[in-house]
A and B are shown apart, each in its own frame.
Chain A
Amino acid sequence: MRKFVADFTVTDNIALNANYFLLKLTSVEKLPEMLPGQFVEVKVDGSPTTFLRRPISINNIIEERNELWLLIQTIGDGTRTLSALKSGDLLNLILPLGNSFTLPENPSKSVLLIGGGVGTAPMLFWGKYLKNRGFEPNFLLGARSSKDLLQLEEFDKYGTVFTTTEDGSAGEKGFVTQHTILQTKSFDFIYTCGPKPMMLAVAVYAKSKNISCEVSLENTMACGFGVCLCCVENTINGNVCVCTEGPIFNINELKWQI
Chain B
Amino acid sequence: MADLRVKIGGLDLKNPIMTASGTFGFGEEFNDFFDISKLGGYVVKGTTFEPRQGNAYPRMAETPAGMLNAVGLQNKGVHYFADVIYPRIKDIDSHLVVNVNGSTIEDYIKCTEKVAELERVTAIELNISCPNVKQGGMSFGVCATSASEVVKAVRKVYSKTLIVKLSPNVTDITEIARAAEAEGADSVSLINTLLGMAIDVEKRRPLLSTVTGGLSGPCVKPVALAMVWKTAKAVKIPVVGMGGIMDWKDAVEFLLAGASAVQVGTANFIDPTVCLKIIDGLNDYLDRHNYSSVNEIIGAIGV
What's the nearest-Cβ distance from chain A to residue B114, in Å? 21
A229 to B67, CA, bound (A): 13
| Contacts A51-B67, A51-B217; A222 near B269 (Cβ below 8 A) | yes
Task: Bits for A226-244, please: 1 = Cβ < 8 Å to B, else 0.
Answer: 1111111110001100000
Q: Is the CB of B64 within 8 A of A228?
A: no
Q: Give A53 Cβ to nearest chain B Cβ, in Å.
A: 6
| Contact among A222, A225, A226 for B67, CB-based, below 8 A | A222
Q: Does A94 contact B (CB under 8 A)?
A: yes
Asked whether B25 lies within 8 Å of A51 as measured between CB atoms, the reply is: no
Residues of B with C-beta under 8 A to A223 = 268-269, 272
A2 partner, pick from B29, B32, B62, B69, beta carbons under 8 A: B32
* B interface footprint on A40-67 (CB within 8 Å = 1, 0 otherwise): 0001000011111100000000000000
Residues of B within 8 A of A232 (CB): 54, 57, 59, 74
Q: Inside 8 A of A229's CB, which chain B residues have their CB?
A: 22, 45, 54, 59, 71, 74
- How far does the alpha carbon of A3 sit from the alpha carbon of B272 in the complex, in Å? 11
A239 near B25: Cβ-Cβ < 8 Å: no
Q: How far is the CA of A239 from the CA of B155 in the complex (A)?
A: 33
A226 touches B69 (CB 8 A): no
Query: Which residue of B33, B66, B69, B271 contacts A228 across the interface (Cβ within 8 Å)?
Result: B69
Q: Which of A224, A226, A227 has the most CB of B within 10 A?
A: A227
| Partner among B62, B74, B273 whose Cβ is within 8 Å of the Cβ of A52 | B62
Main SS at interface, chain B: loop
Q: Which of B62, B217, B271 has most A Cβ within 10 Å?
A: B62
Contacts of B84 in A (CB 8 A): none
Q: Which residue of B lies closest to A4 (CB)?
A: B32
User: Separation in Å of the B19 CB from the closest CB of chain A?
Assistant: 10
Is A193 in the interface zone, CB < 8 Å from B? Answer: no
Which A residues are CB-close (under 8 A) to B66?
51
CB distance from B56 to the nearest CB of A (A): 7
Check: B303 CB closer than 8 A to any chain A CB.
no
A171 vs B60: C-alpha distance when bound (angstroms):
38
A5 on the interface (CB 8 Å rule)?
yes
A27 an interface residue at 8 Å Cβ cutoff? no
On whether the beta carbons of B270 and A227 are closer than 8 Å, the reply is no
| Residue among A48, A229, A232, A233 with most chain B CB within 10 A | A229
B19, closest chain A residue (CB): A227
Q: Which residues of B contact A225 (CB under 8 A)?
A: 29, 272
B69 touches A230 (CB 8 A): yes
Query: Does A110 belong to the interface (CB within 8 Å)?
Result: no
In the assembled complex, 13 residue pairs joining A and B whose CB atoms fall closer than 8 Å, in A order, are: A51-B62, A52-B67, A219-B57, A219-B58, A220-B61, A224-B269, A225-B272, A226-B25, A226-B29, A227-B23, A229-B22, A229-B59, A239-B57
Q: Which 8 A-B pairs have the closest CB atoms?
A: A230-B60, A227-B25, A223-B269, A3-B32, A230-B59, A222-B269, A229-B71, A2-B32
